[in-house]
Amino acid sequence: MCKLLLYSFTIYLHSLAERLESKRNYNYTKYHPMEEIYKWMEDVERGNPELVSSSVYGLTFEERNITLLKLGLENPEGREKKAIWMDCGIHAREWIAPAFCQWFVKEILQSYKTNEKLTEMLQNLDMYVTPVVNVDGYMFTWTNESNRLWRKSRSLPPSDCGCRGVDLNRNFNANWGTVGVSYNCCDNTYCGTSPVSEPEAKAVTDFVGSRLNQILCFLTIHSSGQLILLPYGHPEISAPNYDELVAVGKEAAAEMKKVHGMDYTVGTSPQVLYKNSGSSRDWARLVGIPFSYTFELRDKGEFGHLLPEDQIQPACEEAYAGALSIITFVHDKAFNNVTTVPNAAVTTVTGITTVTGVAITIWSTIMAFSLTTGVLM
Amino acid sequence: MATGELNPSHYPAQRAANVVKHYLNTRYGSPYRWVGLHKVHSANAEEVAESGRKYHLEISVQEMTGNTTEKCSAEVLFPALENQRSPQVQASCEALLTANTTAQEEALYQQYRRNHTLLSGHNLPDSYGHIDPDMKPLWHLGGVASSFVMLKESTENTLYNMAQVANVTQLETENDQLRFNYHVLLHDMVSQEIIHWKLLVTWSPAEGVKVLQMEELPKCEHCEVPPKPN
């Protein structure tokens, strides 16, 4: 009996050690296949129960879990929390995007305890992070080298056409099927048979759609091109808060440039890239989420989607600075009664250092205004 | 389409500048000189009756093989549809790409000529973005050779970059020119398509890069190469 107990205990310790090892040793500067990402999510949740919980909010076409991590702390006054949304890997070949979602989670985990601003934000808002939306497509890009540049989902074609996959970022219900799409199922911008015909797009739509009053901003991460895109993809439609979207976007780009000197261009898709419709970013804005951006990460064409692993860290560091800039803005706008758009002459009130040692200016000129003691929004 | 002064960071100027980049590669590229676009400073577009649309551009380019940037002035004429399809480019750069690559090029040329076994490579870069240092010159050469295709195929509705060298095989040297068969994957940002091309490429330091044959491959085995859109 004692031997059995001892044996079981040893097994337990060993598996505990393995789990701690795998979390501690997870290499955020390498690309990981989906099995490793699933395991990493489990480890992160198990290792940080006070901050992290996971949720499977849909199934892909091939019936795999679409999983998000929810990062958040209890609100000390029991107030209702808001949220921000971040998704990565809508397009299978854009490997730097899932790498960034993992990096983002890691940064939050490793710095929130010693970062008052981050703690405050996590008490006021939850961060929903989906490391890989298009799991089927992402896994397909890992099957062999000739599939590395697959972009779409892996759904079976409609009866009158012969190729698999839908461009998930043309499938959302936002001016669906109008511009910047193909109706040919063999093409890489094929928008699907109808709006939200794809389970992956439906999963995001349902989850976010049921939390519209909560969600302050929607960030969707892609590569490449070094762009921060605001809604809308249609050249003749403008978001009502266009000016504010531009200002907040430019502030994010400025923060990104401070990290490693890289330029990120801010604008609508029809301005700086191409017309498109049915994107997740457009849908989010259309249903009322005030701040919605597509991040197109490195690079500008030299490696394109095949970004070398030695660029994962710098690409993620700058993307983190940009994302945090936007998240901080929407947080402060919602929770500190401040509504002024940041402008070029930013006054630093507090600097906050992350674990990577890069000082990120989070507070901006808006904090120079006296805070009212009125009711929080 | 927009005419007059263009916003340099918007797509019309960026696409035209990308064409200049391809042109410069066809003229000056080598295994040690692969030109990339750094920045568009200013751009202007005008309709040219019966010819097409002409862009005037002030840009900076950089050598991806080094760290230097150069300023260039360029003109790109995208022909009207009834005419031939390829854009016409003129460019002058202030001190074009003066990094002296002659010694490296000569050394590489001699090394490849002396090889007893013909070189080959594939997946440059690989899935992880990695390229063996020994393979980098062949990757750059593939990029430069691809510019011949991308220059020819560019319109105001495309933005081409080489995504990958799928395969490169050295052939017997002829007339002092190193010769290679390339299978390259080109990425068009606008359609998001990956297009396969086979190229027969020659290079020597004296003659520069030439593409003797180019052939577009169909997307899938039983497919045909689609007709060019109007």
What is residue A30's predicted lDDT score, i.e. its pLDDT?
98
pLDDT of residue A341: 59
A231 pLDDT higher than 70: yes
CATH number of A19-334: 3.40.630.10
- A139-173 residue pLDDT tens: 999 999 999 999 999 999 999 999 999 999 999 99
Q: Which two tokens stand for residue A374?
A: 């009125």
**Cβ distance of A300 and B37 shorter than 8 Å:** yes
Query: Of the given ranges (A2-6, B78-82, B140-144), which has the lowest mean pLDDT?
Result: A2-6
Which chain B residue's Cα is nearest to A181? B191
Question: Which residue from A75, A85, A116, A89 is spatially nearest to A33, judged by alpha carbons?
Answer: A89
Nearest chain B CA: its distance from A238 CA (Å): 17
Q: State the average pLDDT over residues A318-345.
A: 82
Selection from A99, A107, A111 nearest residue A312 by Cα: A99
pLDDT confidence tier of residue A348, bands split at 50, 70 and 90:
very low
Residue A87 clears pLDDT 60, i.e. is over it = yes
Span A33-57, pLDDT tens digits: 999 999 999 999 999 999 999 999 9
Distances (CA, A) of A196 to A133, A199, A204, B228: 14, 7, 10, 31
Determine how many CB atoms are found less than 10 A away from the CB of residue A76: 9
Q: What is the pLDDT of residue B6?
A: 98
- Counts of helices then strands in chain B (DSSP H, E): 3, 10
Whether the predicted pLDDT of A368 surpasses 50: no
Q: What is the pLDDT of residue B222?
A: 55
Of the pLDDT bands very low, low, confident and very high (cuts 50, 70, 90), residue A17 is low
Give tens-digit pLDDT for B92-128: 998 766 667 889 999 999 999 998 899 999 999 999 9
- List strands edge to edge, sheet with A65-71: A52-59, A65-71, A125-130, A82-88, A215-223, A291-297, A227-230, A265-268
Beta-carbon contacts below 8 Å between A and B = 79
Closest-CA distance of chain A to residue B41, Å: 14
What pTM value is reported for the model? 0.89
According to the model, what pLDDT value does residue B174 have?
95
Lowest mean pLDDT among A121-135, A248-262, B53-67: B53-67
Residues of A in contact with B161 (CB under 8 A): 301-302, 304
Q: Give residue A24's pLDDT.
A: 61
Nearest by CB to A306, from B14, B163, B191: name it: B163
Decide if pLDDT at A359 tops 60: no
Q: Residue A22 pLDDT more than 50?
A: no
